[in-house]
Amino acid sequence: MEYVEEKKVVDDIKSVFKEVDCIIKRERRVEVKLPKEKLLEFALRMQTNWDFPHLSAISCVDWIDDGEFELVYHFWSYNRKVLVSASIRIPREENAHFETLSHLWQPAKFFERDIHEMFGITFDGNDDMSKFILEEWDGPPPMRKDFVTREYALSFYHFREYHPEWMKDLEGAGEK
Amino acid sequence: MEKQVTARNVWERIFTKLNKRSLWMLHYCTGCGAIELPPTMTARFDMERFGIMPMVTPRQADILLITGYLSLKTLKRVILTYEQMQAPKWVVGFGSCTINGGMYWNSYITIKSLDQYLPVDLYIAGCMPRPEAIIEAFNTLIKRIDEGKADAWKDYYRNYDFYKENQRKVLGEFETYVDIKADAKRFGIV
């Protein structure tokens, strides 16, 4: 594999952000690890200088042992056909928060609402942090690693007891 | 007095006789189980030969088929839908998920047994139940309607407090648009 376009993207990034960790994962995939202060500048350059008009997703990882949340921003370029995943790490706190990207990309509003719901991270500057998918939910953020879903389900829902003798009269019903 | 009772029973028997051959199933799919319904409805298994057809509005439907897992968000919509349906109405729980949570046994957002929230007439076990099982279930339902045994909907009016309490427990306070207690008086159930 030549990785022509991927190398150009890495060169672009290296020309401005000299210190950052930037590797080609495989064909059409570039991974960047940024300090969290650099993300806004990076996103702005992606959008305006380097032809990455599409923010395709924001994902979140809970590194509970490191005490950190990792936010991964995926940028896609239609012309260059490269997906750049830029990841930053923020401290893992009860009220973790980070700055929004919704003024650069409208769809970021939805991604951030989703992350707020699942991980409890607040995005400063995003005015809509209301419930997104889990409308009826008011427990803790369910995708955090310290949320034990089994315990919650046992305490919250009614479980049916198992009575095998109830099925006796059904045995052989399908063989008629 | 006794004559009246027998007369009503005859009417009831006529009603159920007519009812059982003209069932409209609400075309509302909650989970992955809905994928078994197209073959059940269409030419291969053809549930129309038993007089069952899909219906798009809850107010004109008789059967509410809960096809698969119910998240809390869906449960609220199902309750609103169920209360809009005109009695007599029947609920069929479809697949393991409605019986004991199925493969979502430790999920934080799906309910584990449907009969805590709605009165269920019939459960179809399996993941997924094949169209044969659905046809078998419909035949059982028809038989029970004919015998007058499928009256779980009366249970909803009788034990409304129990169902409402359970619904409140998982969903919190929410508004439904049908006055169940007034309806129960109208039907002479309470």
Residue A7 confidence (pLDDT) above 50: yes
Mean pLDDT of B11-19: 85
Side-chain-side CA neighbours of A133 within 13 Å: the count stands at 13
Q: What is the rounded average pLDDT for all residues in chain B?
A: 88
Helix (H, G, I), strand (E, B) or coil at A123: strand
Q: Between β-strands B122-124 and B63-67, what pairing exists: parallel, antiparallel or unpaired?
A: unpaired
Residue B136 touches chain A, beta carbons under 8 Å = yes
Tell me if A166 is assigned to some domain: yes
- B122 or A138, higher pLDDT: B122
Quick one: which H or E segment has residue A40? helix A39-48
Tell me if A62 is assigned to some domain: yes
Residues of A in contact with B99 (CB under 8 A): 160
How far B1 CA sits from the closest chain A CA (Å)?
40
The total of structural domains in chain A comes to: 1
Share of chain B above pLDDT 70, in %: 96
**Res. B8 pLDDT band, cuts 50 70 90:** low
Residue B171 touches chain A, beta carbons under 8 Å = yes
Residue B111 touches chain A, beta carbons under 8 Å = yes
* Residue B53 CB contacts under 8 Å (≥ 6 apart), including other chains: B23, B24, B25, B41, B47
Tell me if A176 is assigned to some domain: no
CB contact under 8 A, A136 and B106: no
Tell me if A160 is assigned to some domain: yes
Best of A132, A136, A137 to mutate (most B CBs within 10 Å, chain B): A136
Residue A88 confidence (pLDDT) above 90: yes
How far B107 CA sits from the closest chain A CA (Å)?
6
What would you report as the CA-atom Rg of chain A, rounded to the nearest whole angstrom? Answer: 22
Residues of B in contact with A153 (CB under 8 A): 105-108, 112
Per DSSP, A161 falls in state P
How high is the pLDDT of residue B9? Answer: 78
Per DSSP, A79 falls in state T
The structural domains of chain B, with segments of one domain joined by +, span 12-187
Per DSSP, A157 falls in state S
Q: Which residues from A are below 8 Å from B when comparing CB atoms? A: 133-139, 142, 147, 149-150, 152-153, 156-160, 162, 173-174
Q: pLDDT tens digits for B38-92? A: 999 999 999 899 999 999 999 999 999 999 899 999 999 999 999 999 888 999 9
Q: What is the rounded average pLDDT for all residues in chain A?
A: 89
Nearest Cα residue in chain B from A159: B112
Residue B99 touches chain A, beta carbons under 8 Å = yes
Cβ atoms of A133 and A117 within 8 Å: the answer is yes
Tell me if A123 is assigned to some domain: yes
Quick one: three-class SS letters along chain B?
CHHHHHHHHHHHHHHHHHHHCCEEEECCCCCHHHHHHHHHHCCCCCHHHHCEEEECCHHHCCEEEEECCCEHHHHHHHHHHHHHCCCCCEEEEECHHHHHCHHHCCCCCECCCHHHCCCCCEEECCCCCCHHHHHHHHHHHHHHHHHCCCCHHHHHHHCHHHHHHHHHHHHCCCCCCCCHHHHHHHHCCC
How high is the pLDDT of residue A79? Answer: 92
How far A13 CA sits from the closest chain B CA (Å)?
42
- A144 or A169, higher pLDDT: A144
How far B149 CA sits from the closest chain A CA (Å)?
17
Q: Which two tokens stand for residue A176?
A: 């008629």
Residue B53 touches chain A, beta carbons under 8 Å = no
- Give the CATH number of the domain where residue A23 resides: 3.30.460.80
**Res. B1 pLDDT band, cuts 50 70 90:** very low
Instruction: Measure CB to CB from residue A158 to each of B75, B113, B172 and give the nearest one.
Output: B113
**Res. B190 pLDDT band, cuts 50 70 90:** confident
Q: pLDDT tens digits for B126-136? A: 888 999 999 99
**Residue A138's domain spans which residues?**
4-171
Instruction: Measure CB to CB from residue A150 to each of B73, B106, B111 and give the nearest one.
Output: B106
Q: Which two tokens stand for residue B44?
A: 């291969």
* Distance separating alpha carbons of residues B13 and B15, to the nearest angstrom: 5
**Res. B29 pLDDT band, cuts 50 70 90:** confident
Mean pLDDT of B113-117: 91
Side-chain-side CA neighbours of B164 within 13 Å: the count stands at 14
**Res. A69 pLDDT band, cuts 50 70 90:** very high
How far A149 CA sits from the closest chain B CA (Å)?
6
- A60 or B31, higher pLDDT: A60
Tell me if A103 is assigned to some domain: yes
Instruction: Measure CB to CB from residue B108 to each of A133, A149, A158 and give the nearest one.
Output: A149
Residue A169 confidence (pLDDT) above 80: no
Pick the CATH number of B12-187 from 3.30.1490.20, 3.90.180.10, 3.90.230.10, 3.40.50.12280: 3.40.50.12280
How high is the pLDDT of residue B7? Answer: 55
Amino acid at A90: I
How far A160 CA sits from the closest chain B CA (Å)?
6
How high is the pLDDT of residue B5? Answer: 46
